[in-house]
Amino acid sequence: MPLRGSEQLVIDRWRKRIEPEQPEQLFDILNNEAIVVNDIMCHGQPQPNLVTASMRANLDVFDKLSNQLFALKDCRISKLEAFPFGIPVLDDILVNIEIEPNF
């Protein structure tokens, strides 16, 4: 599909863009019954340059989730926050992330 003029302007000026395959990689990772997605937001028009997400993950999958997030191709995790739920025994972890194109 050819680029629109405004998309080409963004690429020429900032050289930052999130390819369509990158959010699909994220959705594949989050397609897990032990992860409850609270919010996903793509920022930037006409071409997204930031994806933020908030989710609640089971303790059993948190390690695998964080490893998969850091292994996303051509992306950089600019922020990953984890907040535990359940005192004194942990139940879930609230995870907030920001993903940017890797340049």
In this structure, are residues 66 and 30 in contact, taking their beta carbons and an 8 Å threshold?
no
* pLDDT on residue 83: 93
Going by C-alpha positions, the residue among 50, 41, 40 that lies closest to residue 16 is: 50
* pLDDT on residue 100: 83
* pLDDT on residue 96: 94
* pLDDT on residue 82: 92
**CA–CA separation, 72 vs 76, rounded Å?**
8
* pLDDT on residue 42: 82
- CATH number for the domain whose boundaries are 5-101: 3.30.1360
Please give the structure tokens belonging to residue 68: 């998969």
- Give the residue ranges of the chain where pLDDT is below 50: none
